[in-house]
Amino acid sequence: MIKRLRIVIQVVFFIITTIAILKYVHFVNTGRGRPDIIEIFCPIGGFYSLVMWFKTGFIDHIHPAAMVLLLAGIITTVFCMKGFCGWICPVGTLLDLLGFLREKTIGCYVAKIKIPIKLKFITDNFLGLIKFGTAGALVYLILRLPGQIMPMMYQNAVLPEDVSLYKFWVDTFHGQHNLTLVLIIGILLFSFLIPRFWCRYLCPLGAFYGVFNLFSFLRLKKGDACVNCGLCEKRCPMGLSPFTSRLLNNTKCIGCLKCVEGCPKNAITLSILGFYRLKPLIYPLILVVFYLGIIGFAAEKKVWHSHLDSQMYARIFIQHGIIKPWMMKVLKGQIR
């Protein structure tokens, strides 16, 4: 039941994200209907806006959704473990789809890659340094910025973030970032062979949320009924070994609850602070209500929709080499 519910929730959020991408392309072509949720792909800008808000009191009115989405991810992690990664993140859903395709294609003929324990230890720690090092460096650099210059830097660094990202993907599609394309194909290939390869070893956002996961109110706990059968390890998409630890909240766990559902002895339980047990089916309800509730609250307080007008967007697009008829019309009308 948990597996089916998780798939449903993942598919719903994936469809929402896909529609947002299509709507953004429509916005680029027509200048109408920019979807604010597209900023889910701009977490660095969201963190910048969040720090700027704390340091200066200035709330980002250009890309507020990026800040809200990042804040929703932090808060849900504190209260509901790293469930964003396991149930909501569209990239995680795509990687789960690759894992599913592997099982339905070569999975019957090729066993899952088993890395020797010593090599696994070295690999996990080396790649972990990349993931946590990248996340730590970005957090450190942004936190170090003086508050008085952050609004000024915002104009150059954060203001065109969604346009820059769109331009990057367009250029990649046209063969202008071949090295990046090779890296992306490589990551997808490794993710096809190794479940959630990107999430395990490279995702800086997952590393950032992972720190908050250590202090989550909801926790997974292994009880005395465990017989060390190892089935939880086989089911874990992050390559963890739940049966070897009593408290399971760590920086990697994505709260997918596969270990809970797959334990034949019901030895792994979900609880509040390790004491009050919760039924696993309640977890996704709490997670989704928290996540959408934070977004809804922000929208109610008018901290969600971008206030950037069409003239400014037209200028930004043209500065990035993207020119559409509506942009010229808007700017000509402004000049007149």
CB 11 within 8 A of CB 90: no
pLDDT digits (tens, 9 = 90+) for 188-223: 998 898 889 999 889 999 999 999 999 999 988 888
Report whether pLDDT(111) > 60: no
pLDDT digits (tens, 9 = 90+) for 113-161: 566 666 777 777 777 788 899 999 999 999 999 988 888 888 777 888 8
pLDDT digits (tens, 9 = 90+) for 291-313: 999 999 999 999 999 988 888 99
Average pLDDT value for the chain: 88
CB 95 within 8 A of CB 199: yes
Q: What is the pLDDT of residue 8?
A: 95
Report whether pLDDT(226) > 80: yes
Please give the model's pTM, rounded to 2 decimal places: 0.90
To 10 degrees, what angle do helices 178-193 and 161-173 make?
90
Contacts 24+ apart (CB under 8 A), 119-128: 120/239, 123/201, 124/200, 124/201, 127/200, 127/201, 127/202, 128/201
Q: What is the pLDDT of residue 336?
A: 43
CB 70 within 8 A of CB 50: yes
Q: What is the pLDDT of residue 112?
A: 58
DSSP secondary structure letter of residue 247: B
Six-digit token pair at 229?
A: 């059968």
Q: Which of 293, 295, 137, 298 is nearest to 208 (CA)?
A: 137
pLDDT digits (tens, 9 = 90+) for 44-61: 999 999 999 999 988 888
Task: Compute the radius of gyration of the chain from its Cα atoms.
Answer: 22
> In this prediction, what percent of the chain has a pLDDT beyond 90?
53
pLDDT digits (tens, 9 = 90+) for 234-292: 888 888 888 887 667 888 999 999 998 888 888 888 988 877 888 889 999 999 999 99
More confident site: 14 or 250: 14
